[in-house]
Amino acid sequence: MSQSKGVSPPKNPPLELNREMVRGEFGLRVDELSGQKLYDCYQCGNCSSGCPLAQEMDILPSAMIRFAQLGQKDILLNSGTIWICASCFQCTVRCPKGIDIEAVMDTLRQLALEAGVDHFGPDEISPELAAEVPQPGLVGVYRKLST
Amino acid sequence: MAKVAYYPGCALKERSSHLDRSARDAALGLGFELDELETWTCCGAVPPVSSERVMNLIAPSRILKDVRDSGRKELITICDFCYNTLKRANYSIRNDEVIRKRVNAFLADDDPERTYLESDDAPWVDYDGEVKVLHLLEYLRDIIGFENLPAGLKNPLKGINIAPYYGCVMLRPEKEIKLDNPENPTIIDEFTRALGAGVVSFPYRTECCGSYLSVSSPDASTRLCYRILSSARANGADALVVSCPLCFYNLDSRQEAIAEAYPDFKPMPIFYFTQLLSLALGNGPEKQGFDMHCVDVSPILEKLDTPEAAEVGE
Ligand code: SF4
Ligand code: SF4
């Protein structure tokens, strides 16, 4: 395995911007559920540069925040990023604008799971792993990645 | 002997029982007893972030309320996930009136159903976040005092270089946890130094090991653990010391997969901080549950020039 395995360069689809995108229904819902002021983000990129899983992500954390500001529900809820984020809070402690980015990630996971489909279901774990992973790993993964 | 309320959590009761046992032994060696709560449940492992998920606060709040109701003011826990969850639940209850009311409404509703409790006629009192949640390391630093540790050590850990690994949820998010500086923590460094070992600092000491991704994306966790371990090695560490069962599991049991993926990799033993403390206090290696480790710790024990260490190697 090379160190670059699983790395896909962030590809942000071109968006045609318009006024209605800003402070639209979806962006405000994420704002409210996460308790974060999304529109405070000035795209400094600190969250992305410190994220230990950035190289595994299709959309970087700072881009996730931008897409949220622009109400891009489909892009966000179909991203791989929400499922590979390990909830480590590195981004959260480094944001100069005091945004808890992990809370936004968690909110997006929750909204994606509202469709009722597990990202990682109970039948996907091998019996060997199920028998040895310490409980916080098991409880954590199912709380974050399944309905 | 002083008794302090103790919440072990699920992992320490089973898959990480060596963390529990070494902690209890070490506490006794220092003159206090970890007094396990009579009834407790899983804390839920990850605290709810979204404001609508008050339900996930019920379990940790109930645990804390039971501590308060038993007349105690402090609760020690060791697993970093339990610590994070209990502390954040407490923070929400203390600082958010709406959450406090909703959580207490749930708890009060649920109370009559708890028929397994010895009934008492004490009137219901809302839980307002009165209990202080302490990580065992925090108790050692703030109540016992790291400066008082060396005097009681029978076997100071001379001759080994240990890299403290902090991981994520013990330190972050800073606002709620406030244990140490999340970017430049010192608590495990000071602890390790007090035990007499050499302390190795390395750049990846606060980087995530992959947490629960070891279940859903094991390859990602393998890559993260490789980075952490090889960085510690490059900076001169003989072993890593951790406090979290999931960090321990990822960093210890992933080493086989790491060795397959990265031919330059050399195995590195992982210790719980409680095992190091218990060893230094004079409890033998046979009490530390080293047989539960994937990576053999005996090269480190041999370096420790103690009578007990000489017996190891079976
Ligand atoms: S660190 Fe904060 S302000 Fe900077 S890009 Fe990330 S969310 Fe925006
Ligand atoms: S919480 Fe998620 S997005 Fe933030 S730094 Fe950690 S892995 Fe990256």
Measured from the CB, is residue A105 less than 6 Å from ligand 2?
A: yes
What is residue B270's three-state secondary structure? strand
pLDDT > 90? residue B113: no
C-alpha torsion B245→B247→B251→B257, nearest 10: 90
Q: Which of A31, A36, A41 has most ligand 1 atoms within 8 Å of CB, for mutation? A: A41
| Mean pLDDT, chain A, whole residue set | 90
The CATH number that applies at residue B188 is 3.40.50.11810
pLDDT band (50, 70, 90) for residue B305: low
What are the domain boundaries of chain A?
Answer: 19-116, 119-147
For residues B12 and B115, membership in a common domain is answered with yes
B186 & B283 share domain: yes
Let me know whether B193 and B104 are in one domain: no
Whether B243 and B101 share a structural domain: no
Does position B155 have pLDDT exceeding 60, yes or no? Answer: yes
Whether residue B143 is contained in a domain is answered as no
Contact A1 B261 (CB under 8 A): yes
- The answer to whether position B165 is within a domain reads yes
Ligand 1: centre distance to CA B259 (Å):
36
Residues B83-90: what's their mean pLDDT? 96
Collapsing DSSP to helix, strand or coil, B249 comes out as helix
Closest residue of B to A32, CA-based? B51
* Same domain flag for B123 and B177: no
ipTM of this complex? 0.89
* B68 and B203 housed in the same domain: no
CA of B311 to the centre of ligand 1 (A): 54
- Residue numbers of the domain that contains B71: 2-134
Burial letters B165-185, b for 16+ CB under 10 A, else e = bbbbbbbbbeebbebbebeeb
The residue contributing the CA closest to ligand 2 atom 8 is: A51
Q: How far is C-alpha B87 from the geometric centre of its chain's CA atoms?
A: 13
Tell whether B129 and B160 lie within a shared domain: no
pLDDT of residue B103: 95
Nearest ligand (C-alpha, residue A63): 1
Question: What pLDDT score was predicted for residue B114?
Answer: 84
User: What tens-digit pLDDT sequence spans chain A (147 residues)?
Assistant: 334 444 455 566 678 889 989 999 999 999 999 999 999 999 999 999 999 999 999 999 999 999 999 999 999 999 999 999 999 999 999 999 999 999 999 999 999 999 888 999 989 999 999 999 999 999 999 989 998
Helix (H) or strand (E) holding B271: strand B270-272
pLDDT tens digits, one per residue of A28-69: 999 999 999 999 999 999 999 999 999 999 999 999 999 999
B73 inside domain:
yes
Nearest atom of ligand 2 to the alpha carbon of A90: 5
Structural domain contains residue B21: yes
CA distances from B49 to A44, A106, B87, B209 (A): 24, 7, 13, 21
Mutate-to-test residue for ligand 2 from A65, A89, A108, A141, highest number of ligand atoms within 8 A of CB: A89
Q: Is the pLDDT assigned to residue B306 strictly greater than 60?
A: no
Task: Check A107 against B50: CB less than 8 A apart.
Answer: yes
Question: Which residue is closest to B170 within chain A, CA to CA?
Answer: A88
- The residue of chain B nearest to residue A110, with distances taken between CA atoms, is B50
Instruction: Supply the pLDDT for residue B46.
Output: 86
Residues B211 and B106 in one domain: no
Tokens representing residue B46 in the block: 């990850």
Confidence of residue B8 (pLDDT cuts 50, 70, 90): very high
Q: Are A136 and B245 in contact (CB under 8 A)?
A: yes
Apex CA A22: angle with CA A20 and CA A27, to 5°?
115
Q: Which residue has the tokens 């209850």?
A: B93
Q: Give the span between the Cα atoms of B166 and B195, in whole angstroms.
A: 17
pLDDT for residue B53: 72
Into which CATH architecture does domain A19-116 fall? Orthogonal Bundle (1.10)
Predicted confidence (pLDDT) at residue B146 exceeds the cutoff of 90: yes
Q: What is the pTM of this model?
A: 0.93
Q: Strand, coil or helix: what is B101? A: helix
Q: How many A from CA of A85 to the centre of ligand 1?
A: 16
Local confidence band at B116 (pLDDT 50, 70, 90 cut-offs) = confident
Q: At what angle are helices B80-95 and B245-253 packed, to 10 degrees?
A: 150
Secondary structure of residue B284 in the 3-state scheme = coil
Do B258 and B187 sit in the same domain of this protein?
yes
Q: Does residue A68's CB lie within 6 angstroms of at least one atom of ligand 1? A: no
Distance from the alpha carbon of residue A142 to the mean position of ligand 2, in angstroms:
18
Query: Is residue B141 a part of any domain in this protein?
Result: no
Tell me the pLDDT band of B270, cut-offs 50, 70 and 90: very high
Residue A58 at interface with chain B, using a CB cutoff of 8 Å: no
**Interface subset of B 182-211, CB within 8 angstroms of A:** 182-183, 206-208, 210-211
Task: Determine, yes or no, domain membership for B99.
Answer: yes
**What pairs with residue B239 in β-bridges?**
B162
- Please tell me the total count of domains within chain B: 2
Nearest CA-CA distance, residue B264 and chain A, Å: 12
Co-location of B69 and B194 in the same domain: no
What is the percent of chain B where pLDDT is above 90?
Answer: 87
Average model confidence (pLDDT) across chain B? 93
Looking at the CA of A81, which ligand is closest?
2
Q: What is the mean pLDDT of residues B158-187?
A: 96
Do B81 and B126 lie in one domain? The reply is yes
Check whether residue B68 and residue B181 sit in a common domain. Answer: no
Chain A residues with CB under 8 Å of B50 CB are 33-35, 103, 106-107, 110
Q: What is the CATH number of the domain that holds B40?
A: 1.20.1050.140
